Amino acid sequence: MHDLAALRAADAPSAVPDLALSRALLDSRQRWRDLVGMAADLVFETDATGRLAFVMPDPALGWPAAVLLAQDPGKLLADPGGFDPFRPDAPRRGRQAWLRRVDGSLACLVFSVAPLLDAEGRIIGARGLGIDVTEEQAATAAAAGALRRGAMIDHILARMRQEVLAPRMMRAVLDSVRNALGADGVAVLGQSAEGPVVQHQTGDGVVAVLDAILTLIDRDGAEQAATAAAASPRPLLVSVCRTRFGERAGLAAWRGADGRPWDAEDRLLLDAAGGIVRVVLEHQAIQREMARQARTDALTGLLNRRAFMEELPRHIDRLDRERLPGTLMFVDLDNFKQANDRFGHEVGDQVLMRTARLLRATVRPTDLVARLGGDEFALWLNGADHFTAAERAEQMRAHAPETFAAVTGTTRPEITLSIGIATRRAGGAEDIDSIMRRADLAMFEVKRDGRGHWRVAPEAEE
């Protein structure tokens, strides 16, 4: 029988030399370094003083390892008040921290870290690794921002659907934008004939930032815009809106003087709202044009009958308060039908447009001028008595033949004006129907007596 110990001794491997063992350990350590280097973007170890004692890969975040070793890693932190992976008080996993790359840009890393302890359990350093998730973080932030903007747009559209008139739509937009941005106020500014004007606003403080907003709207350059925004007394953000009709406006939001600065996500959100503002501005312009067309004669641009009859009571009420007279003038074209038949409708339209210009030139901008229909026109002269109206009527009568001959090229048939005048005396009680009847009767008498003249109707009996 073989001795069991001898058999075991015979089967045992030969002793591994110390050199071979050292090589195996070095090879294992190198493999560990390679694996960790492939899996992590920053591997570190700190000593008891909190300084970096080990860093890999080389370079890490663009920093050469030789530059980082023996240095305070706190200098890498972009947010010193946030999570510090280099000084953990307990093992941590999945914690995020923002670090500075060598080029000054920021990187978001997810860390797994643990403190190093001595035999008595005292912390004598730290060890950890971090994985760069900056791109994933940016993609997540972009997706969250897109969801936020989408939610805001959905909310705005839901509120807009409840409104019909453009001003109320705009108020819904601005209220929603103000809440979404946490702004003190939001406004839409544009240009008018008198200059820049605040078209819509919600919140307070627009006066303090008005000049800066106008500068931002007028300047397209990013550098100039940034300079103007920096000069604002409050954090200011502006998105320029240009409508299909050429209108240039600006959607502006501002915060208090101690409010947080605007960030890129705020800019994207305001730009998204600016697209809706542009649509509302276009809708508002269409509504204005529809209202204008509903009140305006398409050919001459004068008030139509409906608008004239709506405006006349307001003018009379004001004159009554001021104890002033007013005068109505009915103007009818003589021989217009014959000219229209002879020269064609195109020439007839030119005659009507010339008539409109003649009437406008005869009265003041505060007076009313209307085309009642066909070749019939009306004027209302605020504060004018029958003497003033007669002077204006004579001017029109005298200039009419020459004015119309320039269009037809001949005085045959001669187009003239028949004008009836009716004055409502200051503080009188005569109603509109009575004034119109008197003016119409005076014009009829002119036509009956040969046309081409004017006549003042007798005063109303009260």
pLDDT tens by residue, 197-238: 888 889 888 887 777 777 776 655 444 444 445 556 778 888
Q: At what angle do helices 345-362 and 386-408 cross, to 10 degrees?
A: 150
pLDDT confidence of residue 312: 94
DSSP assignment, residue 75? G
- The residue type at 431: D
* pTM for this model (two decimals): 0.52
Listed in order, strand segments (DSSP E) in 302-404 are 326-334, 368-373, 376-382
In the sheet that holds 185-192, the strands lie side by side as 195-203, 185-192, 248-254, 236-242
pLDDT confidence of residue 194: 65
Domains of the chain: 26-132 (3.30.450.20), 146-291 (3.30.450.40), 305-456 (3.30.70.270)
**Which single residue is written with the structure tokens 């447009």?**
353
Kind plus residue range of the DSSP H or E element containing 344: none
pLDDT confidence of residue 315: 94
pLDDT digits (tens, 9 = 90+) for 278-302: 888 888 888 778 888 888 998 999 9
pLDDT confidence of residue 397: 92
Q: CA 379 to CA 362: how far, in whole Å?
A: 10
pLDDT confidence of residue 148: 77
pLDDT confidence of residue 271: 87
Residue 458 — φ and ψ, nearest 5°?
-60, 150
pLDDT confidence of residue 207: 80
Q: CA 106 to CA 93: how far, in whole Å?
A: 21
**Which single residue is written with the structure tokens 């797994």?**
112
Neighbours of 274 (CB within 10 A): 21
β partners of residue 97: 109
Q: At what angle do helices 264-295 and 134-160 cross, to 10 degrees?
A: 20
Dihedral sign of CA atoms 338, 339, 344, 350 in order = negative
pLDDT confidence of residue 443: 95
Supply the Cα-derived Rg of the chain in whole angstroms: 43
Q: Which residues of the chain have pLDDT under 70?
A: 1-18, 20-22, 24-39, 191-196, 217-232, 246, 411-413, 462
